[in-house]
Amino acid sequence: MGAFQSSPGQPEYVDLKEKTGFSISQIRVLHTRFKLLGHNGETLKRDHFNSIPDLACNPIRSQIIEAFFDRRNFRQNGEGPVDEIHFEEFLMVMSHFKAPSPRMIEERESVRREKLRFIFNMHDTDDDGTITLEEYRHVIDELLSLTEDLGKDTAKDIADAAMREVASTSMAHMEPDEFFEGITFEHFLKLLKGFEIELKMNVHFSIMDTPTFCK
């Protein structure tokens, strides 16, 4: 009670800033958020994400939550799921959604690949490097509803049509006797060639990082 409150040391944040590209104030804000979600614990578990009502409304929330616990998104070349994440890993996953700074035009391609890799990992649930038709269909099913509005047949039709389109684009590049295993990451990139994903898949901070002092 009598001691001064110790704020997290600057050097930790500087280190995270190097790794993820967020600014110090953005990291602070996210750290507060991390602590709020995890009830001041050191780690976050899957259950903690379930307390966000907006997220509960999202049809693909389980995939999104899985993405946070997927080692492939931690940029450490690991694989497989984990049960809990620390703040650093949380930031790593969040950094996939960072808006690229205008100066990084040259790096645009790598930023693009990174974001698309994230989406790819979200589909590829068994970590084998390809999105099989079952995995793709699973995502579509999550998005569609199973109410009376949309009969089970219509849902199946939509899913089939989408998969046929994907398969045909991929198969055009293959030999006739090759078996269609699934979409590899390279195919995936080709499919989404036209998308400016680096612009579309960002979450913007409304308060830009303006330092309150002048050097």
What is the footprint of another protein within residues 57-96 (CB under 8 A)?
57-61, 63-64, 68, 94
Distance CA 144, CA 188 (A): 22
| Whole-angstrom distance, CA of residue 184 vs CA of residue 44 | 31
Under the criterion CB under 8 A, does residue 145 sit at the interface with another protein? yes
* Cβ-contact 81, 72 below 8 angstroms: no
Task: For another protein, give the closer residue by CB, 102 or 176.
Answer: 102
For 177, residues 6+ apart whose C-beta sits below 8 A from its C-beta are none
Q: State yes or no: residue 213 binds another protein (CB under 8 A).
A: yes
Minimum CB distance to another protein smaller for 170 or for 177:
170
Query: Closest Cα partner for 31 from 111, 88, 106, 103?
Result: 88
CB of 115 to another protein, least distance (A): 9
Fill in the DSSP letter of residue 96: G
77-85, 103-111, 147-155, 174-182 -> range binding another protein (CB under 8 A)? 147-155
Instruction: Find the shortest distance in angstroms from Cβ 119 to another protein.
Output: 6
Q: How far is CA 205 from CA 15, 65, 118, 136, 202, in A?
A: 21, 21, 20, 32, 10
CB of 205 to another protein, least distance (A): 6
- What is the Rg, in whole angstroms, of the alpha carbon atoms belonging to the chain? 20
Q: Is residue 45 a contact partner of residue 83, using CB atoms and an 8 Å limit?
A: yes
Q: Which element (helix H / strand E) includes 62?
A: helix 61-68
> Of residues 25, 43, 125, 184, which one binds another protein by CB under 8 A?
25
Residue from 100, 124, 166, 198 touching another protein (CB under 8 A): that is 166
CB of 177 to another protein, least distance (A): 27
Q: Does 200 bind another protein (CB under 8 A)?
A: yes
Query: Does 172 sit near another protein (CB under 8 A)?
Result: no
Q: Which of 16, 38, 49, 85 binds another protein (CB under 8 A)?
A: 49
119 binds another protein per the rule CB under 8 A: yes
Of the two residues 56 and 174, which places its CB atom closer to another protein in the complex?
Answer: 56
Contact (Cβ atoms closer than 8 angstroms) between residue 187 and residue 167: no
Q: What is the closest distance, in whole angstroms, from the C-beta atom of residue 206 to another protein in the complex?
A: 4
